[in-house]
Amino acid sequence: MSKASSTELPKTVDPYRLAEQEIVLEGEIPLQALSRFGDSVFGFEDGAVCRVSLSFSMDGERRRMVTGELEAPVTLECQRCMGPMQKTLVSRFTLGLVTSDEQAQQLPKELEPFLTDDFSADLWSLTEDELLLVLPPFPLHERDECPAREELEAFEPDESGDEEPVRKAEDNPFSVLADLKTKKH
């Protein structure tokens, strides 16, 4: 996907015509415009966009398909420290265009159905659905970046110390005495 692109993705298209012409659409959708998605994340930067590339095509059996790639930078809530964490959501998908549940059931199982009207499909809504699908259910900071790290480590063995302190003390009782001496003042 080209970073220079700043065209807004068309909202409503005739996906069947696009598939017959094998059209590729690239563009952006302001995240602000996707309210269901906005309600599901901690937040995003002002003016943040989802970058979208959709490639419409037909297969050998004249099945209409759309293959897509999405990328959106968002802020999620880390479930360990409950603080904000930055994440770029990425999704890749291939959908079969259908206008009825019956058609959807006839799709080969590797194709997810994209239910549309006869001559129109809402690409923003499609994008929003796909973004919601890739939202991590339990987002967590990388361990080293999580502010709750120190609290966690208080309950865990010190990684820099002896792995088996009890057994070592038995092996060498004098080291225990040495420790006691240095700790007493």
> Which residues sit at the interface with Zn ion, rule CB under 5 A?
78, 80-81, 141, 146
Q: Which residue is nearest to Zn ion (CB)?
A: 78
Choose between 83 and 165: whose C-beta lies nearer to Zn ion: 83
Q: How far is the CB of 87 from Zn ion (least distance, A)?
A: 12
Strand, coil or helix: 80: coil
Reading phi first (left if > 0) and then psi (alpha if -120 to 50, else beta), residue 55 is in: beta
Is there a contact between 115 and 98 (Cβ–Cβ < 8 Å)?
yes
Choose between 118 and 142: whose C-beta lies nearer to Zn ion: 142
H/E element holding 70?
Answer: strand 64-77
Choose between 22 and 145: whose C-beta lies nearer to Zn ion: 145
Q: How far is the CB of 86 from Zn ion (least distance, A)?
A: 11
Give the whole-angstrom CA distance, residue 128 versus residue 137.
Answer: 16
Q: How far is the CB of 84 from Zn ion (least distance, A)?
A: 9
